[in-house]
């Protein structure tokens, strides 16, 4: 069985060779474009360069370069030649990169002069890497070599190792096979109905790759991908309006930045047909604000998934604003929609223990909260270099299918919708019962002055006490925190699950994950709360 996603690129070139594949700003800040044929020519040069440089199928190559046109061409060339791309963001922490590469044991390091300098300084991959090279050197080598197109690679061979952001622990390298990637592309295309005649602005590099496989034109935003919270909203809005973008892929923090900018600079994004947000659930206030920039026909969809399995579920955010938000404000959790075609979702009892292979998964009744477990062609089946991670997160059923334990807790309602209640590791077990973060936080997030909250547990003597951290919408309201604290305590007294939350702390901003700048790192807040409670 063979498969090669990169061959889809050649199909799109035959269909529309002169169509823009990427639109981007050059150094002169003018809009430029590269056609599908030009991009394929660049990819072929990269492919030849990899061969000329001694790369072979099965080689593990760290790819640590900016997400520009060369990055995308090199990634396709690696897919096409069967080279496993090790994707790791230095933003996870330079020491974490050292540890991750020691586990992955790559053969080659492809980087810029800057990342090569960091590699040398921190000793990244020193026990396994035998070759260091830059994209330009690969390109130069490719221009001197003539080779035929590559044959399709084995579907079950490793295509990429993509590291999690480490927002709930140490980063883990999820191994994607070519089959996983192909299924992921097909499921995303089906779920969001992207057409080849559309223009997309992806604030996630992976979606730019998907655009090319679907024949879509990708507008590369003028932003630093690893730091979406620092995006200049004026530049994103200018790109959408100038290029008449149809679809926007962005994390909630990017939508928030755009919406806040639009409050002071009236903005209409009339060309946008759809907005896709992922990385974390978008707060209701952000959805409400951003919808003001769109037309009545525009849609905002939320994708629920993880590094190990994307997508899992999809929700129309109109449904959130018109219905499910009111249940969230009463402690129901967050509705993430219905599972997409191609994914099977089970809810099992919450446990921190590994599951035995071959055992039958007992699906909990609807309305009962448990761990979310998924199975499907896009679901990764193992981690790199850490078999203990694989043992805890994966289980094989009696039919041989691998199920992934997401580490999230949730439940199905009577309409078949999946509700997210938080991370399993963020649950707070008090003497009065079990509290799940998103359910508790949803009640307090309903306060008009609150942007978001975070529940943590603090050990005091022999008991765990729940503590709530609060981030306000308007930083000026920080002076009114005592008044807001009393209002939140009164609000919490109205519900059984929040009645025992008596400690409330305020913080101007929460620590968040490095990839999306949207997931709250509650572990850090728990340490801060523990210090305050001493």
Question: Which of 102, 128, 163 is where one domain is finished?
Answer: 163
In a domain, 344, yes or no: yes
In a domain, 272, yes or no: yes
- Residue 151 is predicted with a pLDDT of 56
- Cα–Cα dist 40/393, whole Å: 38
- Residue 165 is predicted with a pLDDT of 78
* Beta bridge mates, 338: 314
Same domain, 62 and 158: yes
**Three-state SS for 224?**
coil
Q: What is the dihedral of CA 325, 329, 330, 335, to 10 degrees?
A: 40
Domain that holds residue 518: 427-533
Q: What is the dihedral of CA 54, 55, 58, 59, to 10 degrees?
A: 100
Same domain, 368 and 388: yes
What is the DSSP secondary structure assignment for residue 294, as one 8-state letter?
Answer: S
CB of 86 within 8 A of CB of 189? Answer: no
- Residue 228 is predicted with a pLDDT of 79
Same domain, 149 and 283: no
- Residue 147 is predicted with a pLDDT of 57
Query: Which of the four pLDDT bands, split at 50, 70 and 90, describes residue 149?
Result: very low
Q: How many CB atoms lie within 10 A of CB 504?
A: 18
SS3 content of the chain, % helix, strand, coil (to 5): 35, 25, 35
**Three-state SS for 269?**
coil
- Residue 311 is predicted with a pLDDT of 95
Q: State the Cα angle at 28 between 23 and 32, rounded to 5°.
A: 20
CB of 310 within 8 A of CB of 424? Answer: no
Residue 55 in this model has a pLDDT that exceeds 80: yes
The residue among 134, 121, 129, 118 whose CA lies nearest residue 65 is: 134
> How far is C-alpha 430 from the geometric centre of its chain's CA atoms?
31
Same domain, 376 and 232: yes
Residue 466 in this model has a pLDDT that exceeds 80: yes
pLDDT digits (tens, 9 = 90+) for 489-523: 999 999 999 999 999 999 999 998 877 778 899 99
CA atoms within 13 A on the CB side of 246: 13
Query: Which of the four pLDDT bands, split at 50, 70 and 90, describes residue 150?
Result: low
Residue 145 in this model has a pLDDT that exceeds 90: no
In a domain, 139, yes or no: yes
Same domain, 155 and 225: no
For 258, phi then psi, to 5°, come to: -65, -45
Residue 358 in this model has a pLDDT that exceeds 70: yes
**pLDDT above 90 covers what percent of the chain?**
77
Same domain, 359 and 496: no
Name the packing angle between helices 69-81 and 205-214 (round to 10°). 70
Question: Which of 128, 163, 198 is where one domain is finished?
Answer: 163
Same domain, 414 and 431: no
- Residue 3 is predicted with a pLDDT of 57
Same domain, 387 and 303: yes
Residues counted in the chain: 534
The residue among 155, 131, 139 whose CA lies nearest residue 74 is: 139
Residue-averaged pLDDT of the chain: 92
CB of 78 within 8 A of CB of 107? Answer: no
- Cα–Cα dist 422/443, whole Å: 14
Q: What is the dihedral of CA 129, 132, 135, 141, to 10 degrees?
A: -110
pLDDT digits (tens, 9 = 90+) for 282-334: 999 999 999 999 999 999 999 999 999 999 999 999 999 999 999 999 999 99
* Beta bridge mates, 62: 86, 109
Residue 51 in this model has a pLDDT that exceeds 50: yes
Q: What is the dihedral of CA 125, 131, 136, 137, to 10 degrees?
A: 170
In 303-364, where does DSSP find H-type helix? 317-319, 325-328
In a domain, 175, yes or no: no
Q: What is the mean pLDDT of residues 465-470?
A: 97
Same domain, 65 and 213: no
Q: What is the per-residue burial (b if ≥16 Cβ within 10 Å, else e) of 254-267?
A: bbbbbbebbeeeeb
Q: How many domains does the chain have?
A: 3
- Residue 384 is predicted with a pLDDT of 94
CATH number at residue 513: 3.30.300.30
- Residue 277 is predicted with a pLDDT of 95
Residue 148 in this model has a pLDDT that exceeds 60: no
In a domain, 171, yes or no: no
Task: Give, for 94, the enclosing helix (H) or strand (E).
Answer: helix 94-104
Question: Which of 389, 422, 455 is where one domain is finished?
Answer: 422
Range name among 133-137, 385-389, 466-470 with the lowest pLDDT average = 385-389
CATH number at residue 52: 3.40.50.12780
**pLDDT above 70 covers what percent of the chain?**
98
Same domain, 129 and 208: no
In a domain, 177, yes or no: no
Name the packing angle between helices 284-291 and 252-264 (round to 10°). 50
Range name among 150-164, 229-243, 299-313 with the lowest pLDDT average = 150-164
Residue 128 in this model has a pLDDT that exceeds 50: yes
- Residue 146 is predicted with a pLDDT of 64
- Cα–Cα dist 314/277, whole Å: 10
- Residue 86 is predicted with a pLDDT of 97
Q: What is the mean pLDDT of residues 426-437?
A: 95
Same domain, 461 and 327: no
The bridge status of strand 247-250 relative to strand 274-277 is parallel
Residue 167 Cα distances to 51, 127, 172, 509, 533, angstroms = 37, 27, 11, 16, 24
In a domain, 480, yes or no: yes
Query: Which of the four pLDDT bands, split at 50, 70 and 90, describes residue 379?
Result: very high
Same domain, 480 and 388: no
Task: Give, for 486, the enclosing helix (H) or strand (E).
Answer: helix 481-492
The residue among 505, 386, 520, 526 whose CA lies nearest residue 459 is: 526
Residue 111 in this model has a pLDDT that exceeds 60: yes
Q: What is the mean pLDDT of residues 224-234?
A: 83
- Residue 396 is predicted with a pLDDT of 93
Transcribe 381-416 into DSSP letters.
Answer: --BSS-HHHHHHHEEE-TTS-EEEEEEEEEEE-TTS
- Residue 117 is predicted with a pLDDT of 96
Q: What is the mean pLDDT of residues 101-114?
A: 96
In a domain, 176, yes or no: no
Residue 237 in this model has a pLDDT that exceeds 90: yes
What is the DSSP secondary structure assignment for residue 497, as one 8-state letter?
Answer: G
The bridge status of strand 153-154 relative to strand 108-111 is unpaired
The residue ranges of DSSP E strands in 326-383, in sequence order, are: 334-339, 343-348, 370-376
3-class secondary structure for 28-86? Answer: CCCEEEEEHHHHHHHHHHHHHHHHHCCCCCCCEEEEECCCCHHHHHHHHHHHHHCCEEE
Q: What is the mean pLDDT of residues 381-396?
A: 93
What is the DSSP secondary structure assignment for residue 300, as one 8-state letter?
Answer: E
- Cα–Cα dist 355/402, whole Å: 12
**Three-state SS for 188?**
helix
């Amino acid at each position: 069985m063979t498969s090669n996603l990169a061959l889809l690129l050649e199909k799109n070139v035959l269909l529309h060779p002169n169509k823009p594949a990427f639109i981007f700003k050059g150094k002169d800040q003018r809009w430029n474009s590269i056609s599908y044929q030009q991009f394929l020519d660049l990819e072929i040069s990269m492919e030849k360069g990899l061969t000329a440089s001694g790369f072979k199928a099965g080689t593990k190559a760290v790819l640590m370069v900016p997400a520009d046109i060369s990055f995308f061409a090199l990634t396709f060339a690696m897919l096409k030649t069967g080279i496993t791309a090790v994707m790791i963001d230095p933003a996870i922490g330079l020491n974490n990169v050292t540890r991750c590469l020691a586990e992955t044991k790559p053969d080659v390091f492809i980087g810029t002069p800057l990342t090569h300098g960091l590699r040398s300084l921190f000793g990244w991959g020193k026990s396994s890497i035998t070759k260091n090279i830059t994209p330009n050197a690969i390109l130069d080598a490719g221009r001197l070599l003539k080779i035929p197109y590559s044959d399709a690679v084995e579907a079950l061979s490793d295509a990429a190792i993509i590291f999690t952001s480490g927002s709930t622990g140490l980063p883990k390298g999820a191994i994607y096979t070519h089959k996983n990637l192909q299924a992921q592309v097909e499921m995303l295309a089906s779920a969001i109905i992207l057409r080849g005649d559309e223009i997309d602005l992806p604030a996630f590099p992976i979606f730019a790759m998907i655009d090319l496989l679907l024949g879509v034109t990708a507008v590369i935003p003028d932003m630093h991908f690893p730091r979406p919270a620092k995006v200049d909203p004026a530049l994103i809005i200018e790109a959408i309006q100038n290029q008449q973008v149809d679809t926007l892929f962005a994390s909630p923090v990017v939508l928030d930045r755009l919406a806040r900018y639009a409050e002071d600079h009236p903005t209409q994004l009339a060309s946008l047909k759809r907005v896709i947000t992922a990385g974390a659930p978008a707060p209701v206030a952000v959805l409400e604000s951003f919808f003001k920039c769109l037309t009545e026909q525009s849609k905002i969809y939320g994708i629920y998934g993880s590094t190990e399995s994307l997508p899992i579920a999809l929700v129309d955010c109109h449904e959130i604003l018109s219905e499910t938000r009111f249940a969230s404000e009463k402690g129901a959790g967050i509705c993430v929609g219905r599972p997409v075609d191609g994914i099977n979702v089970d809810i099992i009892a919450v446990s921190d223990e590994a599951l035995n292979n071959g055992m039958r998964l007992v699906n909990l009744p609807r309305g009962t909260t448990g761990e979310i477990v998924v199975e499907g062609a896009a679901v990764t089946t193992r981690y790199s270099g850490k078999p203990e991670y694989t043992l805890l997160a994966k289980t094989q059923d009696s039919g041989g299918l691998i199920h992934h334990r997401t580490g999230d807790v949730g439940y199905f309602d009577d309409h078949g919708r999946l509700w997210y209640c938080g991370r399993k590791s963020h649950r707070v077990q008090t003497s009065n019962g079990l509290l799940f973060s998103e359910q508790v936080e949803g009640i307090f997030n309903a306060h008009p002055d609150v942007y978001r909250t975070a529940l943590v547990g603090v050990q005091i003597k022999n008991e765990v006490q729940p503590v709530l951290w609060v981030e306000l919408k308007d930083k000026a309201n920080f002076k009114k925190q005592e008044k807001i604290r009393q209002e939140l305590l009164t609000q919490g007294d109205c519900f059984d699950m929040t009645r025992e939350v008596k400690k409330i702390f305020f913080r101007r901003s929460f620590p968040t994950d490095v990839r999306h700048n949207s997931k709250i790192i509650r572990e850090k807040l728990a340490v801060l709360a523990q210090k305050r409670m001493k």
